[in-house]
C-alpha cells in the first residue's frame, strides 16, 4: 500500500508529464501558426504580382489601341474598317476584299493593305510594344451560307477552306511588301494566318449579318496570359 508521500510524488510526476505535453502542444501550435502566416504572405505576394501584371497589360493594350486609333482614324471610313478596344482591326467592306467564293485579293484590298500594313507594323513593333506581343493574327471569317452545300456541315467545311485560303493570300501579300522588309524576321516569328470559317459570324438583333460576317481581321495578342502562367508555375513547390 502506497504511503501518502509516494502518492504525492506520483501526482507531481503526472503533473510534470502534462506540463511537458502542454508545452509541446503550444510549441506545435506556434509552428503551425508561423507556417500559416508565411503561406498567407506568399499567397498575397503572388496575388499582387498577378494583379500588377494584369494592370500592366491592360495599360499596354489601352495605349496600343489609342495609338492605332490615332494613326488610322481618318482612313477607317473609306476602308470600311474599325478598331476594337480588344486590338481587333476589322475590315468589313466585303466588296473591297475578295470576289464571292474567291481567295484572290481584290486590287482595291491590295491597295488598302499596301497603305495599312507598313504603318500597322511600325506601331506594333515599336520598342514599347514588341517584346510583349505574343501573336499577330490575320483572321479570315465567312458567313454561314454556301450556295449548293448539301447541309450546314458541308457549308462549314467549304467556308473553312475558303477562309484559310484567303488568309494565306493576305499573309503572302503583306509579307511581300518592300516597306516591311526590315521587319521580316519578326513578322515570320509572330504573324500567323487563321481561317475560321463561320465560327464567329456577326449577329445583329439575333440575326446573322452575312455581309459583315465576311470579313478580314488583324488581331494583336499580348503575352499577359503567359506572364501570369509563369508566376503561377514559380509559385508551385
| pLDDT tens-digit map of 60-83 | 788 999 999 999 999 999 999 999
Mean pLDDT of 131-149: 91
Select from 141, 140, 135 the least CA-distant residue to 192. 135
- Position 131 scores a pLDDT of 86
Mean pLDDT of 120-137: 92
Give 17-40 pLDDT, tens digit per residue.
455 556 666 666 776 666 766 666
Q: In this structure, what DSSP letter does residue 232 have?
A: H
Neighbours of 46 (CB within 10 A): 14
All 3 cell numbers of residue 43?
499567397
The confidence band for 188, taking pLDDT boundaries of 50, 70 and 90, is: very high
- Position 236 scores a pLDDT of 47
CA distances from 83 to 42, 67, 73, 220 (A): 40, 11, 9, 11
- Position 62 scores a pLDDT of 87
- Establish how many alpha carbons lie within 13 A of residue 71's alpha carbon, considering only the half-sphere containing its beta carbon: 18
- Position 8 scores a pLDDT of 47
Select from 236, 226, 229 the least CA-distant residue to 42. 236
Whether residue 222 is predicted with pLDDT greater than 70 in this model: the reply is yes
Whether residue 169 is predicted with pLDDT greater than 50 in this model: the reply is yes
- Position 147 scores a pLDDT of 85
Q: In this structure, what DSSP letter does residue 150 have?
A: S
| Angle, helix 152-175 to helix 107-124, in steps of 10 degrees | 70
Mean pLDDT of 109-124: 97
Whether residue 122 is predicted with pLDDT greater than 90 in this model: the reply is yes
Mean pLDDT of 123-138: 92
Select from 67, 75, 70 the least CA-distant residue to 129. 67
Alpha carbons 164 and 168: distance in angstroms, whole number: 6
Mean pLDDT of 225-233: 57
CA distances from 44 to 41, 48, 233 (A): 5, 6, 16
Whether residue 88 is predicted with pLDDT greater than 70 in this model: the reply is yes
Block residue for cell numbers 470559317: 197
Is the whole model's pTM more than 0.75, yes or no?
no
Amino acid at each position: 500500500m502506497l504511503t501518502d508521500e509516494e502518492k504525492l510524488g506520483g501526482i507531481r510526476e503526472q503533473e510534470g508529464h502534462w506540463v511537458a505535453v502542454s508545452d509541446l502542444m503550444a510549441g506545435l501550435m506556434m509552428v503551425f501558426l508561423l507556417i500559416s502566416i508565411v503561406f498567407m504572405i506568399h499567397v498575397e505576394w503572388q496575388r499582387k504580382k498577378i494583379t500588377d501584371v494584369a494592370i500592366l497589360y491592360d495599360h499596354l493594350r489601352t495605349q496600343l489601341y489609342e495609338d492605332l486609333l490615332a494613326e488610322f482614324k481618318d482612313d477607317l471610313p473609306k476602308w470600311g474598317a474599325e478598331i476594337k478596344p480588344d486590338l481587333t482591326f476589322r475590315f468589313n467592306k466585303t466588296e473591297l476584299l475578295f470576289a464571292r467564293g474567291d481567295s484572290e485579293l481584290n486590287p482595291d484590298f491590295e491597295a488598302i493593305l499596301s497603305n495599312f500594313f507598313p504603318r500597322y507594323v511600325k506601331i506594333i513593333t515599336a520598342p514599347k510594344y514588341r517584346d510583349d506581343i505574343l501573336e499577330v493574327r490575320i483572321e479570315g471569317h465567312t458567313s454561314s451560307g454556301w450556295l449548293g452545300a448539301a447541309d450546314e456541315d458541308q457549308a462549314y467545311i467549304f467556308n473553312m477552306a475558303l477562309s484559310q485560303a484567303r488568309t494565306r493570300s493576305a499573309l503572302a501579300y503583306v509579307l511581300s511588301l518592300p516597306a516591311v522588309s526590315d521587319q521580316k524576321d519578326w513578322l515570320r516569328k509572330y504573324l500567323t494566318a487563321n481561317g475560321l470559317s463561320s465560327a464567329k459570324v456577326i449577329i445583329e438583333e439575333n440575326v446573322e449579318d452575312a455581309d459583315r460576317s465576311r470579313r478580314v481581321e488583324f488581331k494583336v495578342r499580348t503575352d499577359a496570359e503567359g506572364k501570369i502562367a509563369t508566376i503561377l508555375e514559380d509559385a508551385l513547390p
